[in-house]
Structure 1
Amino acid sequence: MTTTLIIGLLIPLLGTMLGSAFVFFMKGEMSDRLQKSLLGFASGVMVAASIWSLLIPAMEMGADSGKWSVMPAAVGFLLGMGFLLLIDELTPHLHIGTDKPEGMRSHLSKTAMLALAVTIHNLPEGMAVGVVFAGADSGITSISLASAVAVSLGIAIQNVPEGAIISMPMRAAGNSKRRSFLIGSLSGAVEPIGAIAVLLLASLLMPMMPYMLAFAAGAMFYVVVEELIPEASSGQHSNLSTIGFAIGFVLMMVLDVVMG
C-alpha cells in the first residue's frame, strides 16, 4: 500500500510536468481550438471523478440510513463549493487570458497571481486524491485501492493539457522556456501537498469520511463551473470544448468502473 500510495500521490504532479514540457516542443501560442478542447476535456474528467469516485461512494457509505443517506453527500458538497468560493474571494489571483485580477487587492506580480489562480484550481484535485486513498486505506468497501489509483490517473491525464495551458501562455508572454516549464510544473505541486494534508487528517476524521468525499467533489465542481466551463464556452469553437468534455467524462467514467 505504501508504494502504491506514493505513486498515486505523485502521478498527478507528473501529468502536470508532462504537459508543461510541451513548451519545449511547441512554437508560438497555443491555438484557440486546442485550448478550448483541452479545457473541455479537463472539465469532463473532473465532473466524472467527482460523481463516480466521490459522491456515489459518499452516499453508499450511509446506505444504512435509508433516504437520509444522501444528506452527508449534500452537506459536504455544499461545504466544498462554499470553501472554494471563500478562497476565490479572498485570494488575489489572475486567470490566463485576462488582465483584471480577482480576489483581495494586492501588489503581487502578474506571474504570482497567475500561479495563485492555478493553486486554487489544483487544491481540490489534491484533496480528491488524498481522500480516496484515505478511504481505500481505511477499508471502506465502496472505495478500492484500484479505484483510488483510477482517480489519481484520471486527474493526471487532465493535468497534461492543464500544464500545457499554463506553460504555453507563460512562454508567449516573454518568459523563457525553462521558466515557463518550471512555473507550469510548480503549479501542480499543491496537489500532493493537499493530498498528504487530507491523509494526515483522515485518521482523526474517519467518521466524517462521507462529508470529506463530498467536500472534495464540491470543490472540484466549483472549479469546473466557475472557471473551466466559462473559459471553454466563450468566443468561437465552443463546440470543441463540448466534444472534449464528452471524451474526458467517458474516459474517467470507464477508468473508475474498470479499475474499481
Structure 2
Amino acid sequence: MKLIIGILIPFVGTTLGAACVFFIKNEIKDWIQRALLGFASGVMVAASVWSLLIPSIEMSNKMGRFSFVPAVLGFFLGIFFLFILDKIVPHFHLDGKVLEGPKTHLSNTAMLMLAVTLHNIPEGMAVGVVFAGITSQGDMISMASAFALAIGIAIQNFPEGAIISLPFKSEGNSKKKSFLYGVVSGVVEPVFAGLTIAASGIISIALPYFLSFAAGAMIFVVVEELLPEASADNKTDICTLGFAFGFAVMMVLDVSLG
C-alpha cells in the first residue's frame, strides 16, 4: 500500500497544479514562471545527488576505490537515453516556441504534451527505482527517504501542472479540457515508476545503475530544457534564486526525512 501511495504522490502534485486553471484567470507571469522553473531545476538536481547518486555509490562500496563506476556509467546511460528521446520525439519547449525533434504534422498542443512527457519520464523512473531499492537494499534506502523524494518531486510538479494547463486555457480551450491536459501530462510518472520497479526487481543486482540512470536522465532535462527556458534573455537572477530555494527544499526533505 505504501508503495502505491509513494509512486502516486508526484502525480497528485501535477494534478493539483493543473487544477489552478479553475482559480487563475490568466497565464502565469513571466517572472513567476522563471522562478518556478528554477525551483523545479533545484529540486531535481538535489534529488539526483542525495536520493540517487549517493545511494548508488554506497550500494557499490564492495568495489572499493571503484565504487563510483556504477554511478558514472548509469549516469551517462541516463543522459544518452534522454538525448535519444529528445532527438526522435517531436516536441516544443515549455515556452511553446522552440520545436525539437523530427518534423511532424502534430498540433502544437500535442507537441507540448510530448515535451512534458519527456520531462516526467525520468522523474517517474527516479521514484520507482528508489522504492524498488527498499525491498532489495533496505539498509541503504529507507521508506522515509523514498517518500522524501516523492514529496520533493510532487512539490516541483505542482507549478509544472499549472504551467501546462493555463496556456491551454488561454488558447481557448475550456477549463475542464485544460485541466485534463495537465493531468494527463503527469500520468507517465506512475507508469514509468511501475515499469522501473518491475525491471529493477528482475535484476536487483543492477539497482545502483538504475539509480544513477534516473539521475542522469533528470540532469539532462534540467540542463537541456528547464534552465535555458528559465534564464532566457539573460534574465538569470530570479531563476538562480528559484534554483537555490528548490535545491535547499529537496536537501532538507532528504536529510530530515531520510
- Where structure 1 has 5 or more consecutive residues not aligned to the other structure, the ranges are none
Closer/same/farther in 2, CA of residues 75 and 194 from structure 1, 3 Å limit: same
Listed one character per residue, the Cα deviations across residues 92-119 of structure 1 (whole Å, up to 9, x for unaligned) are 1112323342112221111111111100
What's 2:109 paired with?
Answer: 111
What's 1:28 paired with?
Answer: 26
Q: How does 1:178-217 map to 2 (within 5 A)?
A: 178-217=176-215
| C-alpha distance in structure 1 between counterparts of 2:127 and 2:117, whole Å | 15
Q: Which deviates further from its counterpart, 105-114 or 30-39? A: 105-114
Question: Is structure 2 residue 221 aligned with structure 1 residue 226?
Answer: no
Question: TM-score, with normalisation over the residues of structure 2?
Answer: 0.97
| C-alpha distance in structure 2 between counterparts of 1:165 and 1:119, whole Å | 14
| C-alpha distance in structure 2 between counterparts of 1:187 and 1:169, whole Å | 14
Listed one character per residue, the Cα deviations across residues 166-188 of structure 1 (whole Å, up to 9, x for unaligned) are 11111122221111111011100
- Check the 8 A contact 2:89/2:114 in 1, yes or no: yes
Q: Which deviates further from its counterpart, 65-74 or 104-113? A: 104-113
What's 2:159 paired with?
Answer: 161
| C-alpha distance in structure 2 between counterparts of 1:16 and 1:38, whole Å | 13
Question: Is structure 2 residue 62 aligned with structure 1 residue 86?
Answer: no
Question: TM-score, with normalisation over the residues of structure 1?
Answer: 0.97
Amino acid in the other structure paired with 2:251: M
- Check the 8 A contact 2:12/2:154 in 1, yes or no: yes
Q: CA deviation at 1:235?
A: 2.4
| C-alpha distance in structure 2 between counterparts of 1:246 and 1:98, whole Å | 26
- Check the 8 A contact 1:131/1:212 in 2, yes or no: yes
Q: CA deviation at 1:57?
A: 0.3
Q: How does 1:170-185 map to 2 (within 5 A)?
A: 170-185=168-183
What's 2:52 paired with?
Answer: 54
- Check the 8 A contact 2:123/2:189 in 1, yes or no: yes
What's 1:6 paired with?
Answer: 4
Q: SS at 2:139's partner residue?
A: coil
Q: How does 1:142-153 map to 2 (within 5 A)?
A: 142-153=140-151
Q: SS at 2:67's partner residue?
A: helix
Structure 1 consecutive aligned stretches of length 4 or more whose deviation exceeds 6 Å:
none
| C-alpha distance in structure 1 between counterparts of 2:201 and 2:119, whole Å | 26
| C-alpha distance in structure 2 between counterparts of 1:236 and 1:72, whole Å | 37
Listed one character per residue, the Cα deviations across residues 75-99 of structure 1 (whole Å, up to 9, x for unaligned) are 0000000000000000011123233
**Among 126, 129, 149, which residue is 1:128 paired with?**
126
What's 1:258 paired with?
Answer: 256
Closer/same/farther in 2, CA of residues 100 and 227 from structure 1, 3 Å limit: closer
Listed one character per residue, the Cα deviations across residues 32-88 of structure 1 (whole Å, up to 9, x for unaligned) are 011001000000000000000000000001112111000100000000000000000
- Check the 8 A contact 1:137/1:145 in 2, yes or no: no
Amino acid in the other structure paired with 1:137: T
Amino acid in the other structure paired with 2:168: M
- Check the 8 A contact 1:54/1:214 in 2, yes or no: yes
Q: CA deviation at 1:258?
A: 0.9
Q: SS at 2:27's partner residue?
A: coil
- Where structure 2 has 5 or more consecutive residues not aligned to the other structure, the ranges are none
| C-alpha distance in structure 2 between counterparts of 1:141 and 1:230, whole Å | 38
Aligned residues: 258
Identity %: 57
Listed one character per residue, the Cα deviations across residues 221-247 of structure 1 (whole Å, up to 9, x for unaligned) are 000000000001112642111111111
Q: CA deviation at 1:158?
A: 0.4
